[in-house]
Structure 1
């Protein structure tokens, strides 16, 4: 009897639980939103049409001097003239520094006296040799002494020239390492000359974009210093070896001017337009649903959203080329797709 009571109690509990679950299910279903299949969904559309696809890429670089050199003397000695200051403009061939050359001039003078003596001896030996008064070997030795002395004088004159230090090209004195009265050694830098009559814009270009550049190509350049002012540049070098990140150096020459002067170290940016396709069927990027490998678009047919499989070709920041799946003139949906299913009634807003 006790066992039957327990069984009846369990059955009653199970029945009550089943009734409660069924009642909860009905309440939940009443609360869940049931869309009206005949209600039209508002969407935004665009027309699939033929376009010229091009991609604008912006790259940032920095300006470097056209030429820059450290002036190093080919002789050593005391600096007796230094007519330059930092920031000063200099012309090609202008005096930068003058070294003391007194000792070299004394040596040249002494050798010239020696040379004069050899030349007098030569004249006497030429007469004596003709009369067989002296051996011909004396004449030959004197001739060799003259040639040797002349060579020493040339060498000293070259050293004398090296005491005058001039600029190899026009530019600005950007650094002065010594002062008048300093004693310098051969090869020690004394000043730095920077030429910014033209500047080099050095830009690192990613691998996927490097083929957009060629030597001699004209490119428009913008700077942060002069907004809305464009400088004309010409590609001077396209790198043939990339770095670890697969970036390639591109060098662009820009002529400097007085109206908007540029300085080394400033930033410059270029915008290069890459023409991808001409007159190709394309849609806005927002029209694509799914992935690019399995792309789909909704088009409107007879007031309904119809899902189409498409094949994507070239891409830009704004458009996808469509090579298969829809035709020119189709009205594609670009927003509101989250509320759509294949066949949903729609209205273009």
Structure 2
């Protein structure tokens, strides 16, 4: 009996040991991998670059005074529309005391000369009427009197011009009234009534009274990297995304590429300018930030595969095509345009071929 129990116990131990060995062997074996597949598709491939910049008016003018003084009145506010010649502001002149003193002295001298010329004329006229002198001699004194009157008028105008910035014969023309030089919208009025302003002249740019722009003609100004600028040309279409108007897209036509680059953060950037096509129901404010998608190359309705499926060896490109259940072979293909996600396939595969996806294999079920 004891012998039988020993035999049974030995068999049990042997079976458990053998089972453990089989279990560990099976567990150590790699599980079969089932690769998923995909197929080439017909799609549009667009390679583009993005330029960042802003939308600004094509014509934006700074209105500056022609005389120095103090702002006496402002006639416009930002957002108002103006026409050519509309009044922007009025400047009250603070006369230069030296120039004012010289002008007053000149007027006094002119009046003295006029008084002397009048007396001489009256004296000579009496002699002429008494037939003592000839008419030709009287004419000399008549000319001198008229000249003296003209000198007085000129001196008065000069004094009034220094004091008020306008002469009595100027009519509505006055350089103390600042007027708009273009038709458009007032963007900014950086001065207030009472501010001192400096005239625009050869030595000074002058104080800006207001900025006026034609908001009906906008352009996009942006910059592109030197690696992309060689692929651009005038007339290319841009798709603008304005930061403040996310839901809308605007088209623009590239009209200028700067011939000189500027270094920014270690990279050479070239400025571009494009005419924006505005929409009637949308108002674009000056200075909106925008991004422009510039189409460099485009292929419509071409056979393509995902860029991640293509392997490259030297100058060759290939994919793994399924020839049987979970059996694949390398297939050399000829590629074309790529947008970084999909790549155009010129030859080597068709839409019916199943291409191995290596990046996401699915393991077989237990």
TM-score range, shorter-chain basis?
A: 0.5 to 0.7
Quickly say closer, same or farther: Cα 1:284–1:61, change in 2 above 3 A.
same
CA–CA separation in structure 2 for the residues paired with 1:184 and 1:281: 67
When the two chains are superposed, the root-mean-square deviation of aligned CA atoms in Å is 5.1
Partner SS, residue 228 of structure 1: coil
**Structure 2 counterpart of 1:61:** 53
- Displacement of 1:179 after TM fit? 1.1
Q: Would you say 1:284 and 2:306 are equivalent positions?
A: yes
Q: Deviations over 1:271-313 (max 9, x none)?
A: 3333345776643313213567553311123553002344544
- Displacement of 1:209 after TM fit? 3.3
**Structure 2 counterpart of 1:186:** 199
Residue of 180, 185, 191 corresponding to 1:177: 191
Residue of 39, 56, 75 corresponding to 1:46: 39
Quickly say closer, same or farther: Cα 1:215–1:339, change in 2 above 3 A.
closer
Structure 1 gap segments, 5+ residues each: 1-25, 341-349
**Structure 2 counterpart of 1:307:** 330
**Structure 1 counterpart of 2:9:** none
Structure 2 gap segments, 5+ residues each: 1-21, 122-127, 129-133, 167-173, 201-205
Residue of 273, 278, 289 corresponding to 1:251: 273
Partner SS, residue 176 of structure 1: coil
CA–CA separation in structure 1 for the residues paired with 2:276 and 2:159: 43
Q: Deviations over 1:133-176 (max 9, x none)?
A: 59x9xx89x99x989x9899799979633222111222215123
CA–CA separation in structure 2 for the residues paired with 1:96 and 1:102: 19
Number of residue-to-residue matches in the alignment: 299
CA–CA separation in structure 1 for the residues paired with 2:277 and 2:228: 25
Quickly say closer, same or farther: Cα 1:241–1:32, change in 2 above 3 A.
farther
What is the TM-score with the length of structure 1 in the denominator? 0.62
- Displacement of 1:328 after TM fit? 4.1
CA–CA separation in structure 2 for the residues paired with 1:46 and 1:214: 36
**Structure 2 counterpart of 1:204:** 223
Q: Deviations over 1:87-135 (max 9, x none)?
A: 544333211222347989xx79969x88x96xx99xx9xx9xx98859x
CA–CA separation in structure 2 for the residues paired with 1:281 and 1:319: 10
CA–CA separation in structure 2 for the residues paired with 1:58 and 1:150: 64
Residue of 60, 85, 103 corresponding to 1:93: 85
Quickly say closer, same or farther: Cα 1:56–1:100, change in 2 above 3 A.
closer
CA–CA separation in structure 2 for the residues paired with 1:183 and 1:53: 60
Q: Would you say 1:225 and 2:244 are equivalent positions?
A: yes
Give the 5 Å matches for 1:117-136: none
**Structure 1 counterpart of 2:29:** 33
**Structure 2 counterpart of 1:263:** 285
Q: Deviations over 1:39-94 (max 9, x none)?
A: x8342121387x66432444432223434344321212344433234554433321
**Contact 1:299/1:306, CA 8 A, preserved across alignment:** yes
**Contact 2:333/2:349, CA 8 A, preserved across alignment:** no
Give the 5 Å matches for 1:103-142: none
Q: Would you say 1:168 and 2:181 are equivalent positions?
A: yes
